[in-house]
Structure 1
Amino acid sequence: MASEITIIGGGLAGLVAANAAAEKGAAVRLFEAHTDLGGRARAVAGPYLAHEGGHVFYADGPHWTWLAERRLVRPLVWPPLRKAAGIRWLYEGRMRYAPPPLLLRMLLRGRRAAAPVDEDFRSWASRLWGEKAAEAAANAIAVATYDADTGRLSAAFVWGLLTRVFAPKVPAVRWTAGGWQAVVDRLADRARRLGVEVETGARLSGLPVERGPVIVATELSSARRLLEDDSLRWESGHCMLLDFAVKERNDDLFNCFDMDGGGFFESYSQQDPSAAPQGEGLYQLQVPMRPGDTSEEARERARALADVGVPGWRERATWQRSAQARGRTGALDLPGRTWRDRPAIDRGDGVFLAGDMVAAPGMRGEISINSAVRAASLAVRRATASRATRVARATRVTRAFRD
C-alpha cells in the first residue's frame, strides 16, 4: 500500500516534516530531487564546513524547542571569550568596538515601541529617531534580511528583527557543533529510524496520482510549478555570499556588522574548530545585491568588507568560493503584510506547504521548521480522518453484505 503521507523535498523543511509526521505514527515517504538531503542547509564537501547561509540558531522560539527536545542541536559550541570579544561594527567607514550611540538609543528608548505593520521601517524610524539612525539600523539588521533596502519593509517586521537580535538581553544565539549539516544528518538518521522511506535522486513533475496527504517542502518557485499555482509568491532577499579560509592570526575578528552597506561576516571556525583544518580560519561574508549590481560588483564589495575586517586575507587565503542567493533567503514582509499573509500552509485537498516563505512565524530557516511541524500535524490529521472514513465505509459494506 502507498505511503499515507508523501513529502516532496528533502531539505530542512522536508526532513522536519518527515520526523514530525512519523513520530505520530504515520507512514511517510520522502522524495528528494538531489542525491543528497539537506537543501540549503547542506555544507560543501570537506574539509571546510561552509553552508549557503549562516550557521546559527536562535534559542527563543518554537523551532528551537522542537529541535532541542529531540536533542538534534547538541552538542553546542562557543567561541572563546577572547574571540567572542572580537565583534566589530563598521560605521561611517570606521571599525568600532560597540554599536554607535544612535542605534543604542533607538533600542533602549524604543523597547516598548509598537511599530506599525502598514508603514515602512525607514519612514517610521526616521520620524522617531532621525533618518541617519533609521538607515544605520536597517543596514545592521540586513544580516537577517539579506536585502539591500531593508528600510522599505514593514516597520513591524524590521523592528521585530532588530529587538530580537540586538536588544540588550541575554543573547539567544546558539552554535551547533558541525553546523546545520550536523542537524540535517541527525534529522535524516532519525527519520529513517522512525520508518520514513527516503528516495533521493527522485525529481517529481507533479503530485502522485494515487495519494494521501502531500507536503510540498520545496522552494516556493518549485512549489509554484509543481502545484501550477501562480499565487505562490512572496518577497525575499538577494545577496552575494563569499566564503573563504585563511591562515589564522591571533587578531582575526569574530564577526562584523556593516552599518554602512548592510554587509556582515562571521567566523565559522573560532567557535567550531572542526569547520576548517587546524591552523585555518573559515569565514562567510554576505553583502546585499543592489538594483543593477553585477555579480562581480557585489563580490568586490564583499572582498572590500573582508579587507577591512580580516586584513591580509587575500594573501592568507587557502580556499574560497562565492554564490549568489536570490529568492531563497527567507520571507520578507512589505508594509501592510505579516507572516499570516504569506502563502498558506493548508492548500486544500490534502496538500500542504512547508518552507521559509510560507505562513509561519520566525526568520529565515526558522520559518521552514515551524511551517513543517504545522504541515505535518495537519497532514497526520488528514490521514487519520481518511483512514477512519475508509474503515467506516468498509464496516458499512461488510454489514450490508451480511444482511
Structure 2
Amino acid sequence: MHRITVIGGGFAGLTAAVTAAEAGAKVTVYEAHHTLGGRARTAEGPYRTNEGPHALYSAGPHWAWLRQRDLLGPLAPLPPLEAARLRFRHHGVLRRTPPLALLKLARRGARQAPVDGDFLSWATRQAGEEAARAAAHYSAVAVFHHDPGALSAAFVQERLRRATRVPPEAHYPRGGWASVIDRMAARAWNLGVRVETLSRVDTLPTDTPVVVATSLDSARRLLGDDSLTWTGGRTVLVDLALRTRRGDAFAVADLDAPGWIERFTAQDRTLAPAGEQLLQGQIPIPPHASRSAGTDRADDLLDLAFEGWRSRVTWRREAVANGRTGAVDLPGTSWRDRPAVDRGDGVYLAGDQVAAPGVLSEVSFNSALTAVSLALGRRSLDLRRA
C-alpha cells in the first residue's frame, strides 16, 4: 500500500488527501492550525465571513469532482430580483449596465488574447481604451490585482470571460466555504485518512512521498528553496454588517478602478443575524500603499450603492491579503511558468500559485490532482475518474 503525507489541510490538501485515499493510499494530513480549511475557513460567530469573496465556478473541474462525491451540499441561489441589482460605477456614476464595448471583450467569440502582451494594450486595439480600462478593472473580481491591465492579456481575458458568463458560473455553498471543507474532511475520515491538527511540520519526512499544500511562502521556507516565488496581488478586504434596507445593491463593480463590493446575504441569509446584511469588499492596492487607500475607496463605493450605510453599520472588520489571493501572470508568462508541482525526491507542491491551469480555487484543485497522480505514479486522467 502506498503511503502519502500531506502538509496543509486547506482545500488543496484535502483534495489531495481524498484523491490519494480513494486510490488506495494510506494518507496522513498535518495541519498547523486547530481547524482545517486554510483560506477556505469560514469565521464562527454571528457573521459568517470568508477570507475573500469565495465562490465556486460551476464550469470548473472541481465542481464535477465535488458533486460526484456529494460534497457540494446545498447551494445558496441568488434570487432573480437580487441579481438585477448588480451595479457598476463608471465615470463616478452608478449605472445599471456596463459599457457595451466591455461586453464585446468578454464574449466567447472574441479574438484570443496573446500571452506575451499586456491586457490593456491588446484590449485597446480591440475595443478602445475606455472599454479596455473598464474591462481590466472589472476583472479584478477574479484577479485581485491593483493593475490588471498590466498583466498577461491571455490571463485576464480568461478570467473576464468566466466572471461575465451568463448564466453566472459563481455559486455559493450555503453557510460559507466551511460547509464544503467539513464535508471534505468527513469524506477523508471515512476513507481512513489520519488528520493531525496543531501539527506544524518543520522537517520533511523521508519515508513517504510528500504533498506540500501550503502557501508558496510557507513552502519556500519549509523546502529551503528560494526559487518558490510568484507574483500575487495585495487586496484590502472590508467586511461589514448593516441593518437591512430594501433596495440595496446586490453588488457594485468599480469600472473606474479595480474593486468590488458584494452583499452575501442576498443569496444566503444564514450568514448574518436576522435584520442584518453581510457585505464584503475587495479593493486591490499597490505593494506599498496603505490599508486606508483601500478602505477609503471601499467607503466611496458604499456611499454610491448603499444609501445611509454609515448609520446602519453594526459590525466592521478590515484586513490586508498580501500574496494570498492566488497567482497572477505577467506578460510573457502563463501557468506553466509558475513553480512546478514536482520538486523532485518525492516532494510535490499543491496550491493556487503553482503550475496548474484554472481560475481561482481551480488551480489548487488541479495541482492537488497532479501532485497525487505523480506521487502514485498514475496518470491524472485515471485519478479524475476515480
Tell me the TM-score normalized by structure 1. 0.91
Matched, 1:197 2:194: yes
Instruction: Please state whether the residue corresponding to 1:76 is helix, strand or coil.
Output: coil
- Contact 1:118-1:335 at 8 Å conserved across structures: yes
Which residue type is aligned with residue 6 of structure 1? Answer: T
Match of 2:293 among 293, 297, 316: 297
Counterpart of 1:398 in structure 2 is: none
Structure 1: distance between partners of 2:201 and 2:313: 41
Give the alignment partner of residue 129 of structure 1, picking from 111, 127, 132: 127
The gaps in structure 2 that reach 5 residues or longer are 379-386
Distance in 1 (CA, whole Å) between partners of 2:286 and 2:258 is 10
1:89·1:95 contact (CA, 8 Å) conserved in 2?
yes
> Residue 236 of structure 1 corresponds to which residue in structure 2?
232
The letter for the 2-side match of 1:221 is D
SS at 2:44 equivalent: coil
Corresponding residue of 1:325 = 321
Q: Distance in 2 between matches of 1:368 and 1:107?
A: 25
Bigger mean CA offset, 353-362 vs 93-102: 93-102
Distance 2:199 2:346 in 1: 21
TM-score by length of 2: 0.94
Q: Aligned ranges for residues 8-27 of structure 1 at < 5 Å? A: 8-27=7-26
Q: For the residues of structure 2 that align with 1:177 and 1:107, how far apart are their CA atoms?
A: 29
> Based on CA coordinates, which of the two structures has the bigger radius of gyration?
1
Q: Does 1:166 align with 2:164?
A: yes
Which position in structure 1 is the counterpart of 2:183?
Answer: 186
Q: Distance in 1 between matches of 2:252 and 2:362?
A: 23
Q: How do 1:74-223 and structure 2 match up within 5 A?
A: 74-108=73-107, 111-167=109-165, 169-208=166-205, 210-223=206-219
1:86 to partner: Cα distance: 0.9
1:173-193: per-residue Cα shift (whole Å, max 9, x none)? Answer: 212111211111111111111
Shift of 1:291: 4.6
2:302 maps to 1:306: yes
Distance 1:22 1:219 in 2: 23
3-state SS, counterpart of residue 325 of structure 2: strand
Confirm or deny: 8 A CA contact 1:285 1:306 kept in the other structure.
no
For structure 1, the residue ranges without an aligned partner over 5 or more in a row are 383-403
Query: Following the alignment from structure 1 to structure 2, what is the Cα–Cα distance between the partners of residues 178 and 303?
Result: 26
Contact map agreement 1:126 1:133 (CA 8 A) in 2: yes
Partners of 1:330 and 1:363 within 8 A in 2:
no
For residues 299-378 of structure 1, the aligned pairs below 5 Å read 299-378=295-374
Shift in Å, 1:60: 0.6
Identity, % of aligned positions:
52
Deviations 1:90-140 (A, max 9, x none): 1111111111223123335x7230211101111111122222111111001
Deviation at 1:290, TM superposition (A): 2.6
Query: Are the counterparts in 2 of residues 6 and 211 from structure 1 also a CA contact under 8 Å?
Result: no
Aligned residues: 378
Deviations 1:175-229 (A, max 9, x none): 2111211111111111111111111111111202x42100000000100111111
| Aligned counterparts, 1:64-75, within 5 A | 64-75=63-74
Counterpart contact for 1:236–1:328, Cα < 8 Å: yes
- AA aligned to 2:42 is A
Higher deviation after alignment, 365-374 or 288-297: 288-297
More displaced 10-residue stretch of structure 1: 123-132 or 11-20: 123-132
Deviation string, structure 1 residues 240-289 (Cα, Å, up to 9, x no partner): 00001111111111111110111101111111111111111101001111
In structure 2, the partner of 1:60 is 59
